[in-house]
Amino acid sequence: MTLQSQTSELLPGFEHTAFDSNAVFRVLLDALSRPGRIYDLPVSVATPDGLNATTTATLLAMADMDTTIWLSPSCKTKAANDHLKFHCGCPISDDVVMADFAVARMDDDLSFVSRLSVGNAEYPDQSATLILMVDEISNAPAMKLTGPGIKDSHDLEIKNLPASFHVWRAENHHLFPCGVDVIFTSPTQIVALSRTTRIEVI
């Protein structure tokens, strides 16, 4: 059968769907509830070319036939495409405007971010989430974060984060309650910026 030959090339998804999805979701929930706090990926997953482990786990946990994924050209390998289609059953769109989750590498051309859906005043939840793959996350004082979820303030550093990101993010923050939430994924760690988070670049 064709299905058989396809699956043999595919990497496995979560080992324990219910538990692994839950563990990854809890990390994402914590990360978005506590912007700037860094969390370790709680499970190990097979990673297709084009994605890293935390991004793969995030999508396995959150995406399905009801969510549209957009992958940047450097992420959109055949392996990534097949992996997500098979395990999540999610539509993968070339139109970034359609994305519920948009995935890119930090060194990609990030100009697409301004086209991400930000929701509308009555339904600000109808917005995209940006998953940005990065090399290294730390609590070095490059940015000072304040806002809901943060007691006093948090320091955060994303290695090599381009200045253009901050320009877009500052504009995005002013759209509240509309806006895009950002999840930074290093190979082993996750940190998030909620649309509410105020960033002061130090």
Binding flag, residue 66, other proteins (CB under 8 A): yes
Give the x/- contact pattern for other proteins in 108-147, rule: CB under 8 A.
------------xxxxxx-x-x-----------------x
Residue with tokens 């999508």: 59
Q: Where are the beta strands (DSSP E) in the chain?
A: 39-40, 69-71, 92-93, 101-105, 129-133, 137-146, 154-158, 181-185, 189-193, 198-201
Binding flag, residue 44, other proteins (CB under 8 A): no
Q: Output DSSP code: residue 118.
A: B
Candidates 73, 141, 148, 162: give the one binding other proteins (CB under 8 A): 148
Closest to other proteins by CB, 78 or 123: 123
Binding flag, residue 34, other proteins (CB under 8 A): yes
Binding flag, residue 153, other proteins (CB under 8 A): no
Q: Strand 39-40 to strand 189-193: parallel, antiparallel, or no bridges (unpaired)?
A: antiparallel
Establish whether the linkage from the previous residue to 148 is cis, with ω within 30° of 0: no
Binding flag, residue 64, other proteins (CB under 8 A): yes
> Would you say 129 and 181 are in contact if contact means Cβ atoms under 8 Å apart?
yes
Question: Least CB distance from residue 64 to other proteins, whole Å?
Answer: 5
Distance (Å, rounded) from C-alpha 23 to C-alpha 185?
16
Closest to other proteins by CB, 67 or 74: 67
Closest to other proteins by CB, 56 or 194: 194
Binding flag, residue 83, other proteins (CB under 8 A): no
Query: Cβ-count burial of 84 within 10 angstroms (0-12 exposed, 13-18 middle, 19+ buried)?
Result: buried
Question: Least CB distance from residue 148 to other proteins, whole Å?
Answer: 4
What phi and psi, each to the nearest 5 degrees, are found at residue 141? -80, 70
Binding flag, residue 181, other proteins (CB under 8 A): yes
Distance (Å, rounded) from C-alpha 17 to C-alpha 149?
29
Binding flag, residue 38, other proteins (CB under 8 A): no
Binding flag, residue 166, other proteins (CB under 8 A): no
Residues lying near other proteins in the complex (CB under 8 A) are found at 16-19, 21-23, 25-26, 28-30, 32-34, 61-67, 100, 120-125, 127, 129, 147-151, 176-177, 181, 194-196
